[in-house]
Amino acid sequence: MKSNSKHACRVIVGLLFTSLVIGQPVRADDRESLEALRETTLNLIDALVEQKVFSREQAEAMVKAAQVKAAKTVAAEKPKAGAPVRVQYVPETVKNEIRDQLKQEVLAQAKAERWAEPNAVPSWLDRIMWEGDLRLRYQMNQFDPNNAPPIDYIFAADSGTTRAANFLTGTLQTGPTANTTNDQDLYRLRARLGMLARISDDWSAGVRLTTGNDTDRVSTNQTLGTNFNKYTLYVDRAYIRYQPADWLTIIGGRIPNPFFSTDLVWDEDLNFDGIAATFKPAIGDGSIKPFLTIGAFPITADNPPNSSTRWLSAVQAGAKWDMTHKSSLTVGAALYDYNNMGGQPDGDPGIDLVPGFGQYGYGNSLRQKGNTLFLTDFDRTDGEAPQYWGLASKFRPLNLTAMVDLAHFDPVHVILTADYVKNTAYSRSEIKRRTGIALTDGKDYGYLYKVAVGMPKLEKRHDWQATFSYRFLGSDATIDGFTDSDFGLGGTNMKGYTLGLSYAVDQNAWLNLRWLSAESIDSFSLVPSQRYAVDVLQADVNVRF
């Protein structure tokens, strides 16, 4: 700011000096225009004083300095006695042009360098944008009284298979600690704060912090009731984006979901580790906008000999068609290929040295429930309880998604969504060959239908939206660890419906009410007579900033 003020002073002194020099005795018909130039300069000085660019004392010193310099210049150029005084005539149009040009140059410089703005801040702050949201939630989990108790899952797991390994956890003193029959009332908080930085025209970056924990990647909820203890914030996103052209975007780090999708396959709170590139070529009149997204995402790091890298490789092609009346149709086809996720039987460490024992396990820090699992170390002979559950199936889901936004009654929209997924790598014969397990049930496909009526996004007061959806997600249609954590309290092998209603009570503040009713498709314990069902009520207060 100090250097900008000095620059302003030099410009103003120059203008004032020019007006004072030209303001010496000349032809009478030039006096009015020259006085106008002088008054313009003095008014500009007063305006800058009022804007606190410099003080009144500094302004007066500038005027005096200009007057002294003007007097010296006139004295040096004063003609000898008797010599004629010749003043070059300047046309009125030229004088006006010079005055306007000087004025525009000064104002443009002031605006560009911000030395004429009060409380001006550094220009780099203009490239930073903050965003965030806060949600308070009451949640009721209502379990079906006919659900199988956790102890039944313990006995069923003696066969070496299960679809709910987390129901088996327990201690010798208390038995299984899972809950399948007792209703719950939970009070929860979610807080997220993100920063978006525009580095240049091509480069940008983003960082977001959120509540939650480091063992549940598909939920950012913090359950209240921790003896008034403090909460922990985690890095939810941290990425760099490169966009050298409108048709190409490359993003890497911990990134937002780059795929056009619903929560049938990916939970809305899930973020990806890795790199993705999206191509959006322009064709025709621009009403049809094709896109292609490819990505590579490490799930577990390479750590020989203890474990090998697990990867997700993905590609999605699709297009958006902008129809009339602000309506649009978007379709996408994606193939997600999981590498090294299928489980394999482990050796017996009691007999042989087994490098990386347990590396084929599908750990409880990743899984939710629903995928068919088997004990990878079931044949151990050392008498210890088996510990590692692995995925019976391999996974290569094909995902087809379509959404049509009908805006004929704008601002009220009708949005119809359909989603279908099928695990193209699922094979019961391959599972039996690799694991020795002969499955007689389980599903390798899933689908979702959804209708939403109201405003596409709740921003203004009195905006509203009502939704209804039905989903069917088979046990091995996709990896259960990344699916919606609310429907059926997470995982696959669930079917049912969801009702939702949202209403904006103010700008960027809204209420949300949802009822999610889910029940199992096939048995979680692989005992045909056993079932699992849960209804979830969620009442939210949301604000966004």
Q: Are residues 148 and 95 in the same domain?
A: no
Q: Are residues 161 and 95 in the same domain?
A: no
Q: Are residues 359 and 427 in the same domain?
A: yes
Distance CA 46, CA 52 (A): 10
Among 416, 474, 475, 473, residue whose Cα is nearest residue 449: 416
Among 209, 208, 281, residue whose Cα is nearest residue 249: 281
Greater model confidence, 212 or 399: 399
Q: Are residues 202 and 110 in the same domain?
A: no
Q: Are residues 260 and 403 in the same domain?
A: yes
In this prediction, residue 34 carries a pLDDT of: 61
In this prediction, residue 23 carries a pLDDT of: 46
**Overall average pLDDT of the 193-217 stretch:** 93
* Structure-token pair, residue 453: 């009526």
3-state secondary structure of 529: coil
In this prediction, residue 284 carries a pLDDT of: 84
In this prediction, residue 45 carries a pLDDT of: 74
Q: Are residues 52 and 137 in the same domain?
A: no
Of the three residues 120, 149, 173, the one that is the final residue of a domain is: 120
**Overall average pLDDT of the 101-115 stretch:** 69
Distance CA 77, CA 92 (A): 25
Element (H, E) at 37: helix 28-50
**Overall average pLDDT of the 429-442 stretch:** 91
pLDDT > 90? residue 65: no
User: Which of 10-24, 198-212, 402-416, 452-466 is the least confident region?
Assistant: 10-24
Q: Are residues 137 and 78 in the same domain?
A: no
Q: Are residues 156 and 112 in the same domain?
A: no
Distance CA 117, CA 85 (A): 44
Confidence of residue 458 (pLDDT cuts 50, 70, 90): very high
Start-to-end Cα distance in the chain: 31
Q: Are residues 472 and 529 in the same domain?
A: yes
Among 375, 474, 477, 374, residue whose Cα is nearest residue 425: 477
Query: What is the number of other CB atoms lying within 10 angstroms of the CB of residue 545?
Result: 10
Q: Are residues 460 and 331 in the same domain?
A: yes
Of the three residues 68, 97, 120, the one that is the final residue of a domain is: 120
In this prediction, residue 274 carries a pLDDT of: 97
Are 221 and 232 within 8 A, CB to CB?
no
What percentage of the chain carries pLDDT values higher than 90? 57
Helices assigned H by DSSP within 157-240: none
**Overall average pLDDT of the 331-340 stretch:** 97
Q: Are residues 66 and 178 in the same domain?
A: no
Confidence of residue 257 (pLDDT cuts 50, 70, 90): very high
Average pLDDT across the chain, whole number: 85
Find the CATH number of the domain harbouring 379.
2.40.160.10
Q: Are residues 373 and 433 in the same domain?
A: yes
pTM (predicted TM-score): 0.78
What percentage of the chain carries pLDDT values higher than 70? 79
Among 472, 536, 468, 453, residue whose Cα is nearest residue 499: 468
**Domain range holding 300?**
126-544
Q: Are strands 175-176 and 161-162 parallel, antiparallel or unpaired?
A: unpaired
Greater model confidence, 90 or 44: 44
Confidence of residue 193 (pLDDT cuts 50, 70, 90): very high
In this prediction, residue 344 carries a pLDDT of: 86
Query: What is the number of other CB atoms lying within 10 angstroms of the CB of residue 281?
Result: 11
What is the number of domains present in the chain? 2
User: Which of 171-175, 292-296, 389-393, 432-436 is the least confident region?
Assistant: 171-175
Are 328 and 321 within 8 A, CB to CB?
yes
3-state secondary structure of 154: helix
* Structure-token pair, residue 541: 């207060």
pLDDT > 70? residue 118: no
Of the three residues 70, 85, 120, the one that is the final residue of a domain is: 120
3-state secondary structure of 432: helix
